[in-house]
Amino acid sequence: MAYGRDLADRLLLPRQRPDVWCAITVSGLELSRVFLDTFDKLDSRYSEVIDFWSVGRQKKTKRIIRFGVPKAEANDFAGLRGRHVFIIDSAIHSGETFSAVHDRIAAAKPASIATYSLVVKRSSCFYPTYWGCTIADSDRAYFLLDRIPNNRLSTGRSDHGTKPYWSFKRLEKADCSRSPVCSGLKSIDGMSWSDRHYGMLTNENGLATYLCEVGSQIAGFLTFHYEPGRTFVVDEVAVDRKWQGKGLGGTLVRFADTLARQSSLPRVKLWAIANKTKFYRKYGYKPIIGEPKVWCGDEEFQPMVKVGLYRTYFEPG
Protein backbone atom coordinates (compact mmCIF):
# COMPACT_ATOMS: atom_id res chain seq x y z
CA MET A 1 0.00 0.00 0.00
CA ALA A 2 1.53 3.28 -1.17
CA TYR A 3 0.35 5.30 1.82
CA GLY A 4 1.83 2.76 4.22
CA ARG A 5 5.18 2.82 2.42
CA ASP A 6 5.18 6.63 2.45
CA LEU A 7 4.50 6.73 6.19
CA ALA A 8 7.13 4.06 6.88
CA ASP A 9 9.70 6.16 5.05
CA ARG A 10 9.11 8.89 7.63
CA LEU A 11 8.67 6.90 10.84
CA LEU A 12 11.19 4.07 10.42
CA LEU A 13 14.15 6.34 10.99
CA PRO A 14 16.27 6.37 14.18
CA ARG A 15 15.26 9.89 15.24
CA GLN A 16 12.18 9.94 17.48
CA ARG A 17 10.90 6.63 16.17
CA PRO A 18 7.52 6.24 17.94
CA ASP A 19 7.46 3.41 20.47
CA VAL A 20 3.76 3.80 21.41
CA TRP A 21 0.96 3.72 18.84
CA CYS A 22 -2.37 5.19 19.98
CA ALA A 23 -5.13 4.18 17.56
CA ILE A 24 -8.41 6.13 17.68
CA THR A 25 -11.46 3.81 17.74
CA VAL A 26 -11.99 0.73 15.56
CA SER A 27 -11.13 2.42 12.27
CA GLY A 28 -7.80 3.55 13.66
CA LEU A 29 -7.09 0.02 14.84
CA GLU A 30 -7.80 -1.47 11.42
CA LEU A 31 -5.62 1.08 9.64
CA SER A 32 -2.83 0.47 12.17
CA ARG A 33 -2.85 -3.25 11.40
CA VAL A 34 -2.56 -2.57 7.67
CA PHE A 35 0.31 -0.13 8.19
CA LEU A 36 2.14 -2.34 10.66
CA ASP A 37 2.06 -5.18 8.11
CA THR A 38 3.75 -2.81 5.66
CA PHE A 39 6.25 -1.66 8.29
CA ASP A 40 7.16 -5.24 9.22
CA LYS A 41 8.14 -5.98 5.63
CA LEU A 42 10.66 -3.12 5.86
CA ASP A 43 11.77 -3.67 9.47
CA SER A 44 10.69 -7.00 10.93
CA ARG A 45 11.61 -5.95 14.46
CA TYR A 46 9.56 -2.77 14.62
CA SER A 47 6.17 -4.10 15.74
CA GLU A 48 7.86 -6.22 18.41
CA VAL A 49 9.15 -3.19 20.31
CA ILE A 50 6.07 -0.92 20.30
CA ASP A 51 3.19 -0.64 22.74
CA PHE A 52 -0.24 -0.50 21.16
CA TRP A 53 -3.03 1.54 22.80
CA SER A 54 -6.65 1.90 21.74
CA VAL A 55 -8.07 5.32 22.66
CA GLY A 56 -11.23 7.32 22.05
CA ARG A 57 -13.98 9.46 23.52
CA GLN A 58 -16.31 7.99 26.15
CA LYS A 59 -19.93 8.41 25.04
CA LYS A 60 -21.42 9.56 28.35
CA THR A 61 -18.69 11.77 29.80
CA LYS A 62 -16.98 12.77 26.50
CA ARG A 63 -13.63 12.17 28.23
CA ILE A 64 -10.73 10.63 26.34
CA ILE A 65 -10.07 7.14 27.70
CA ARG A 66 -8.20 3.94 26.90
CA PHE A 67 -10.17 0.95 25.66
CA GLY A 68 -9.43 -2.71 26.31
CA VAL A 69 -7.89 -2.17 29.75
CA PRO A 70 -9.33 -2.55 33.27
CA LYS A 71 -11.74 0.24 34.21
CA ALA A 72 -9.32 1.58 36.84
CA GLU A 73 -6.69 2.14 34.11
CA ALA A 74 -8.95 3.71 31.47
CA ASN A 75 -8.08 7.28 32.48
CA ASP A 76 -4.40 6.61 33.18
CA PHE A 77 -2.09 8.06 30.53
CA ALA A 78 0.94 8.45 32.80
CA GLY A 79 2.70 5.61 30.97
CA LEU A 80 3.25 7.95 27.99
CA ARG A 81 5.51 10.36 29.87
CA GLY A 82 8.89 10.72 28.16
CA ARG A 83 7.97 8.34 25.31
CA HIS A 84 7.60 8.89 21.57
CA VAL A 85 3.91 8.61 20.69
CA PHE A 86 2.16 8.11 17.35
CA ILE A 87 -1.60 8.88 17.13
CA ILE A 88 -3.41 7.37 14.13
CA ASP A 89 -6.96 7.38 12.77
CA SER A 90 -8.48 6.51 9.42
CA ALA A 91 -10.37 9.78 8.91
CA ILE A 92 -10.66 13.22 10.49
CA HIS A 93 -14.05 14.87 9.98
CA SER A 94 -14.59 17.89 12.25
CA GLY A 95 -11.26 17.23 13.98
CA GLU A 96 -12.73 17.68 17.46
CA THR A 97 -12.14 14.11 18.66
CA PHE A 98 -8.63 13.91 17.21
CA SER A 99 -7.77 17.27 18.75
CA ALA A 100 -9.10 16.15 22.15
CA VAL A 101 -7.06 12.92 21.97
CA HIS A 102 -3.94 14.89 21.06
CA ASP A 103 -4.44 17.30 23.97
CA ARG A 104 -5.06 14.49 26.46
CA ILE A 105 -1.91 12.68 25.38
CA ALA A 106 0.12 15.93 25.33
CA ALA A 107 -0.89 16.52 28.95
CA ALA A 108 0.99 13.33 29.87
CA LYS A 109 4.20 15.01 28.63
CA PRO A 110 5.55 12.49 26.11
CA ALA A 111 8.92 13.16 24.48
CA SER A 112 7.24 13.68 21.08
CA ILE A 113 3.89 13.26 19.34
CA ALA A 114 3.49 12.37 15.68
CA THR A 115 -0.04 12.26 14.21
CA TYR A 116 -1.58 10.69 11.10
CA SER A 117 -4.92 10.29 9.35
CA LEU A 118 -5.50 8.64 6.00
CA VAL A 119 -8.22 11.18 5.13
CA VAL A 120 -8.72 14.75 6.37
CA LYS A 121 -11.81 16.82 5.53
CA ARG A 122 -10.97 20.36 4.48
CA SER A 123 -12.98 22.05 7.23
CA SER A 124 -11.26 20.07 10.01
CA CYS A 125 -10.12 22.11 13.00
CA PHE A 126 -7.09 19.78 13.30
CA TYR A 127 -4.44 18.86 10.74
CA PRO A 128 -2.07 16.03 11.74
CA THR A 129 1.67 15.81 11.21
CA TYR A 130 1.09 13.52 8.22
CA TRP A 131 -2.01 12.68 6.22
CA GLY A 132 -2.93 10.77 3.11
CA CYS A 133 -5.35 13.09 1.32
CA THR A 134 -7.82 15.91 1.89
CA ILE A 135 -11.40 15.88 0.66
CA ALA A 136 -14.40 18.21 0.69
CA ASP A 137 -16.98 17.77 3.43
CA SER A 138 -19.45 16.12 1.04
CA ASP A 139 -16.87 13.84 -0.61
CA ARG A 140 -15.97 10.24 0.03
CA ALA A 141 -12.45 8.90 -0.44
CA TYR A 142 -11.55 6.05 -2.81
CA PHE A 143 -8.03 4.61 -2.96
CA LEU A 144 -7.33 3.00 -6.31
CA LEU A 145 -3.78 4.15 -7.06
CA ASP A 146 -0.43 2.59 -6.28
CA ARG A 147 1.21 6.00 -6.14
CA ILE A 148 0.35 9.08 -4.14
CA PRO A 149 0.76 12.79 -4.98
CA ASN A 150 3.59 14.86 -3.57
CA ASN A 151 1.45 16.89 -1.15
CA ARG A 152 3.43 16.41 2.04
CA LEU A 153 4.33 19.27 4.38
CA SER A 154 7.62 17.57 5.17
CA THR A 155 10.11 16.39 2.59
CA GLY A 156 10.72 13.07 4.31
CA ARG A 157 14.21 11.95 5.19
CA SER A 158 15.82 15.38 4.94
CA ASP A 159 13.51 16.70 7.66
CA HIS A 160 14.50 14.15 10.25
CA GLY A 161 17.09 15.36 12.71
CA THR A 162 16.03 19.02 12.38
CA LYS A 163 12.26 19.32 12.43
CA PRO A 164 10.12 18.27 15.42
CA TYR A 165 6.80 16.50 15.08
CA TRP A 166 4.03 19.08 14.84
CA SER A 167 0.26 19.28 14.36
CA PHE A 168 -2.00 22.10 13.18
CA LYS A 169 -5.05 23.09 15.17
CA ARG A 170 -7.55 25.87 14.49
CA LEU A 171 -7.54 28.51 17.22
CA GLU A 172 -10.46 27.96 19.60
CA LYS A 173 -11.84 29.92 22.56
CA ALA A 174 -10.16 27.51 25.00
CA ASP A 175 -6.76 28.48 23.53
CA CYS A 176 -7.12 32.16 24.45
CA SER A 177 -5.63 31.63 27.91
CA ARG A 178 -2.52 29.85 26.62
CA SER A 179 0.94 31.40 26.55
CA PRO A 180 1.59 33.69 23.57
CA VAL A 181 4.13 33.12 20.81
CA CYS A 182 7.12 35.44 21.09
CA SER A 183 8.46 35.77 17.55
CA GLY A 184 10.45 38.96 18.03
CA LEU A 185 8.14 41.03 15.76
CA LYS A 186 6.27 43.76 17.66
CA SER A 187 3.40 43.87 15.17
CA ILE A 188 2.70 40.17 15.71
CA ASP A 189 3.60 39.71 19.36
CA GLY A 190 1.41 42.64 20.40
CA MET A 191 -1.83 40.85 19.48
CA SER A 192 -3.41 38.34 21.87
CA TRP A 193 -5.06 35.00 21.10
CA SER A 194 -8.35 36.61 22.20
CA ASP A 195 -7.91 39.34 19.58
CA ARG A 196 -7.34 36.76 16.87
CA HIS A 197 -10.25 34.58 18.00
CA TYR A 198 -12.57 37.60 18.01
CA GLY A 199 -11.41 38.42 14.48
CA MET A 200 -12.27 34.91 13.35
CA LEU A 201 -15.81 35.26 14.72
CA THR A 202 -16.49 38.67 13.16
CA ASN A 203 -14.58 38.68 9.86
CA GLU A 204 -16.57 37.91 6.69
CA ASN A 205 -13.57 36.88 4.55
CA GLY A 206 -12.83 33.54 6.21
CA LEU A 207 -10.18 34.90 8.57
CA ALA A 208 -8.65 32.01 10.52
CA THR A 209 -5.63 31.24 12.69
CA TYR A 210 -4.09 27.78 12.91
CA LEU A 211 -1.71 26.96 15.75
CA CYS A 212 1.39 24.88 15.07
CA GLU A 213 1.72 22.67 18.14
CA VAL A 214 4.70 20.58 19.21
CA GLY A 215 3.35 18.36 21.94
CA SER A 216 1.49 20.67 24.33
CA GLN A 217 3.40 23.81 23.28
CA ILE A 218 2.45 26.38 20.66
CA ALA A 219 5.55 26.66 18.48
CA GLY A 220 4.10 29.03 15.88
CA PHE A 221 0.97 29.96 13.97
CA LEU A 222 -0.51 30.99 10.62
CA THR A 223 -3.30 33.55 10.05
CA PHE A 224 -4.98 33.96 6.66
CA HIS A 225 -8.11 35.17 4.87
CA TYR A 226 -9.63 35.02 1.40
CA GLU A 227 -9.61 38.01 -0.95
CA PRO A 228 -11.78 38.67 -4.02
CA GLY A 229 -9.96 37.74 -7.21
CA ARG A 230 -9.13 34.15 -6.29
CA THR A 231 -6.40 35.12 -3.82
CA PHE A 232 -5.42 33.44 -0.56
CA VAL A 233 -3.89 36.07 1.74
CA VAL A 234 -1.43 35.16 4.50
CA ASP A 235 -1.72 37.76 7.27
CA GLU A 236 0.74 36.27 9.78
CA VAL A 237 3.48 33.65 9.80
CA ALA A 238 5.18 33.40 13.18
CA VAL A 239 7.49 30.97 14.96
CA ASP A 240 8.36 31.31 18.63
CA ARG A 241 12.01 32.18 19.26
CA LYS A 242 12.47 28.87 21.09
CA TRP A 243 11.55 26.97 17.91
CA GLN A 244 13.17 29.16 15.28
CA GLY A 245 15.77 27.50 13.09
CA LYS A 246 14.07 24.09 13.22
CA GLY A 247 12.20 24.24 9.89
CA LEU A 248 8.78 25.22 11.23
CA GLY A 249 8.66 28.50 9.30
CA GLY A 250 8.93 26.59 6.04
CA THR A 251 6.25 24.16 7.20
CA LEU A 252 3.86 27.04 7.92
CA VAL A 253 4.46 28.53 4.45
CA ARG A 254 3.86 25.15 2.80
CA PHE A 255 0.70 24.71 4.88
CA ALA A 256 -0.57 28.02 3.47
CA ASP A 257 0.05 26.69 -0.05
CA THR A 258 -1.82 23.50 0.86
CA LEU A 259 -4.85 25.42 2.14
CA ALA A 260 -4.86 27.57 -1.00
CA ARG A 261 -4.78 24.49 -3.23
CA GLN A 262 -7.59 22.87 -1.26
CA SER A 263 -9.67 26.00 -1.92
CA SER A 264 -8.73 25.98 -5.65
CA LEU A 265 -7.12 29.42 -5.34
CA PRO A 266 -4.27 30.16 -7.79
CA ARG A 267 -2.60 33.01 -5.90
CA VAL A 268 -1.09 33.31 -2.42
CA LYS A 269 -0.22 36.80 -1.23
CA LEU A 270 1.68 37.84 1.90
CA TRP A 271 3.68 40.66 3.47
CA ALA A 272 7.21 39.53 4.22
CA ILE A 273 9.37 41.34 6.75
CA ALA A 274 11.75 43.24 4.47
CA ASN A 275 14.93 41.45 5.57
CA LYS A 276 13.31 38.00 5.19
CA THR A 277 12.29 38.13 1.52
CA LYS A 278 15.03 35.63 0.61
CA PHE A 279 13.28 33.05 2.79
CA TYR A 280 9.99 33.45 0.90
CA ARG A 281 11.71 33.47 -2.50
CA LYS A 282 12.92 29.97 -1.67
CA TYR A 283 9.26 28.88 -1.59
CA GLY A 284 8.36 30.50 -4.91
CA TYR A 285 7.24 33.98 -3.79
CA LYS A 286 8.17 37.11 -5.72
CA PRO A 287 7.88 40.83 -4.84
CA ILE A 288 4.76 42.45 -6.30
CA ILE A 289 5.97 44.99 -8.87
CA GLY A 290 4.48 48.43 -8.38
CA GLU A 291 2.98 47.76 -4.95
CA PRO A 292 4.69 49.81 -2.22
CA LYS A 293 6.20 48.41 0.94
CA VAL A 294 4.21 48.76 4.15
CA TRP A 295 5.48 50.11 7.46
CA CYS A 296 4.09 49.01 10.82
CA GLY A 297 5.85 51.04 13.47
CA ASP A 298 9.56 50.53 12.76
CA GLU A 299 8.99 47.26 10.85
CA GLU A 300 9.05 47.26 7.04
CA PHE A 301 7.06 44.70 5.05
CA GLN A 302 7.41 43.73 1.37
CA PRO A 303 4.27 42.51 -0.48
CA MET A 304 4.98 39.21 -2.24
CA VAL A 305 2.90 36.77 -4.28
CA LYS A 306 3.07 33.19 -5.48
CA VAL A 307 1.07 32.33 -8.59
CA GLY A 308 0.42 29.27 -10.67
CA LEU A 309 -0.44 26.75 -7.96
CA TYR A 310 -2.52 25.08 -10.70
CA ARG A 311 -1.51 24.99 -14.35
CA THR A 312 -5.07 25.77 -15.43
CA TYR A 313 -4.98 28.96 -13.38
CA PHE A 314 -1.42 29.96 -14.13
CA GLU A 315 -0.83 33.70 -14.42
CA PRO A 316 2.39 35.31 -15.69
CA GLY A 317 4.56 36.42 -12.77
Q: Which residues lie across from 286 on neighbouring strands?
A: 305
**Does residue 55 surpass a pLDDT of 60?**
yes
Residue 14 has pLDDT above 70, yes or no: no
pLDDT (0 to 100) of residue 156: 54
pLDDT digit string (tens) for 138-189?
777 666 556 665 556 765 554 555 678 899 999 999 999 999 999 998 889 9
pLDDT tens digits for range 92-130: 999 999 999 999 999 999 999 999 999 999 999 999 999
Residue 142 confidence (pLDDT):
64
- pLDDT one-digit tens code per residue, 63-98: 999 999 999 999 999 999 999 999 999 999 999 999
Q: What is the DSSP letter of 290?
A: T
**E strands, 15-83, where?**
20-24, 51-57, 64-67
| Chain mean pLDDT for the chain | 87
H runs (alpha helix) in 52-132: 96-106
Q: Quick one: which of 141, 107, 136 has its CA closest to 31?
A: 141
**Rounded Cα–Cα distance for residues 150 and 172 (Å):** 30
pLDDT of residue 237: 95
With CA atoms as reference, report the closest residue to 127 among 236, 213, 228, 6.
213
pTM above 0.85, yes or no: no
User: For residue 37, is it left (φ>0), alpha (ψ between -120 and 50) or beta?
Assistant: alpha
In the chain, the percentage of residues whose pLDDT exceeds 70 is 89
Between CA 301 and CA 291 the distance in angstroms is 11
Q: Is the pLDDT of residue 12 over 50?
A: yes
Sign of the dihedral defined by the CA atoms of residues 189, 266, 286, 158, in that order: positive
Q: Which domains does the chain have, with CATH numbers?
A: 2-159 (3.40.50.2020), 169-313 (3.40.630.30)
Rg over CA atoms, the chain:
20
**pLDDT tens digits, one per residue of 36-47:** 888 888 777 777
Cα–Cα distance, 47 to 259 (Å, whole number): 34
